[in-house]
Structure 1
Amino acid sequence: MSLVEEVRQSWGWVGIEPVEVVGENDFGNLIIKDEDGKYWRLSPEDYYCKVIAANRAELDALSSNQDFLQDWYMAALVSLANDQCGPLSEGRKYCLKIPSVLGGAYGGDNLATAPQVELVRFSGHIARQIEELPDGAQIKLRVTE
């Protein structure tokens, strides 16, 4: 299955109709163009997929926004993950073992690698289940086959 199709199946519930992945970073974040020409950012570690630019001109403007670029490239975290987990192999991205929205730390023993498609799938599945919960709500994860 293509990454675009995985985004459609795992995150379509937020309203995205993806047509193309136009960017990705080492933590599996994606910039996705939708059928209306809007650009979305999917962040597996923070469990969100939201519009970041209404059109290409707005996306181009983000390319000079230092706050956005720092957040996008995650240079310090990527360096730490590379030191702890080694270089990325084909199709894999760095990730947080316990996502930040579930209390996971950005570093230390919480860093790992995973197949990118699984990061998209897992984050979309969990995000959908917890989207209505207030901050600090208690959750119970149940793993099923």
Structure 2
Amino acid sequence: MIAEINKSWNWKGFNATEIIRTNDFGNVIFKTDKNDYWRICPEEISCEKIAESESEFDRITADSEFIEDWTMTNLVDIAKSELGELEEN
């Protein structure tokens, strides 16, 4: 997945080195070689820097608004009720 991120998004000026988190809707948070944290939102066709350090990332990911946006609990529940459980991979 790192190679695909770098191939598709490195024009934004980063080199992805580590996947930090993924969610059920295909969002990805990854870390770069500059220790920045970025988020890919496929539903918005976006890739944005969300933090410039581990401490900033920890602060952001502890925020209830971020948690709600990341987990997408309501959308996940609707999708599961309509389509069933997500298969692995």
TM-score bracket relative to the smaller structure: over 0.9
CA RMSD of aligned residues (A): 0.8
| Residue correspondences, number | 89
Residue 10 of structure 2 corresponds to which residue in structure 1? 12
* 1:59, distance to aligned residue in structure 2 (A): 0.6
Q: How high is the TM-score relative to the length of structure 2?
A: 0.95
Residue 48 of structure 1 corresponds to which residue in structure 2? 46
Greater share of helix: 2
Poorly superposed stretches of 4+, deviation over 4 Å: none
Residue 137 of structure 1 corresponds to which residue in structure 2? none
Structure of larger gyration radius? 1
Amino acid at match of 2:37: Y
Task: Give CA deviations for 1:21-71 in whole Å, capped at 9, x if unaligned.
Answer: 000110010110000000000000011101000010001001221111110
User: Structure 2: where are the runs of 5+ without partners?
Assistant: none
- Aligned residues with identical type, % of pairs: 37
Residues in 1 aligned to 2:41 and 2:3: alpha-carbon distance in whole angstroms: 17
Task: Give CA deviations for 1:80-120 in whole Å, capped at 9, x if unaligned.
Answer: 011111111121xxxxxxxxxxxxxxxxxxxxxxxxxxxxx
Residue 28 of structure 2 corresponds to which residue in structure 1? 30
